[in-house]
C-alpha cells in the first residue's frame, strides 16, 4: 500500500498508509489528525487545505475549477495549496508529502 507523509501544524511528521482510491483528506482524517473537512469531501468548503511538497506538485492532477474557487475561501493560500479531498491516492503517489495548512 502506498504511504503518504503528513506534517502536522506542530511540524511533526506522520507516515500514513494510504489505500489507493481514497482521497488524501480521508487518509488524514481516518488517521485522527486535525483536519476539519467540514463538507465531507465534496469540494464545498476549504477546511482540508494542505500545502503539497513542491517536489510532488507536478505529479498531481491539476486542480479542477471548483477547487480553485473554493481555495478563495481559504487563508494563507500559496502556489502549492490544494484541497486534500480532491487528491486521489494512486500507486504513483507513494511517498507524497503534504503539510496541514493553518486552522482558522
Partner 1 sequence: MPFSSGSMDLRTAMNGQAISTDLVIIGAGPVGLFAVFEAGLLGLRCHLVDNLDKIGGQCAELYPDKPIYDIPAVPRCTGQELIDRLLEQIRPFEPTFHLREQAERLERLDNGRWRVTTSAGTVFEAPAVAIAAGAGSFVPRRLPLPEAEQFEGRSLFYAVRRSEAFYGHRIVVAGGGDSALDWVLALQPHAASIALVHRRDEFRAAPSSVERMRRLAAEGALRLIIGQIVGLEGRDGELEAVRIKTQDGKEERVACDRLLAFYGLKMELGPIAHWGLDLDKGQIKVDTEAFETNLPGVFAIGDICTYPGKLKLILSGFHEAALMCQKAFRYCRPNERLIFRYTTSSTDLQKKLGVI
Residues of the shown chain interacting with partner 1 in the complex, contacts defined by CB under 8 A: 38-40, 42, 44-47, 68-69, 71-73, 75-77, 102-104
d(CA 91, CA 69) in angstroms, rounded, equals 28
d(CA 98, CA 59) in angstroms, rounded, equals 13
Among residues 31 and 71, whose Cβ is nearest to partner 1? 71
* Nearest alpha carbon to residue 38 among 78, 5, 85: 85
Among residues 3 and 77, whose Cβ is nearest to partner 1? 77
Among residues 23 and 47, whose Cβ is nearest to partner 1? 47
Q: Which residue has the cell 469540494?
A: 43
Closest approach of partner 1 to the CB of residue 69, in Å: 5
d(CA 19, CA 28) in angstroms, rounded, equals 11
Cell output for 100: 496541514
Among residues 4 and 100, whose Cβ is nearest to partner 1? 100
Amino acid at each position: 500500500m502506498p504511504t503518504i507523509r503528513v506534517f502536522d501544524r506542530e511540524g511533526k511528521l506522520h507516515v500514513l498508509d494510504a489505500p489507493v482510491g481514497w482521497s488524501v483528506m480521508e487518509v488524514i482524517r481516518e488517521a485522527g489528525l486535525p483536519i476539519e473537512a467540514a463538507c465531507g469531501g465534496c469540494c464545498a468548503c476549504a477546511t482540508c487545505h494542505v500545502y503539497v511538497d513542491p517536489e510532488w506538485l507536478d505529479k498531481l492532477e491539476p486542480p479542477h475549477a471548483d477547487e480553485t474557487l473554493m481555495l478563495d475561501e481559504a487563508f494563507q493560500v500559496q502556489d502549492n495549496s490544494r484541497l486534500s479531498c480532491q487528491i486521489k491516492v494512486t500507486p504513483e503517489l507513494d511517498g507524497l508529502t503534504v503539510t496541514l495548512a493553518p486552522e482558522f
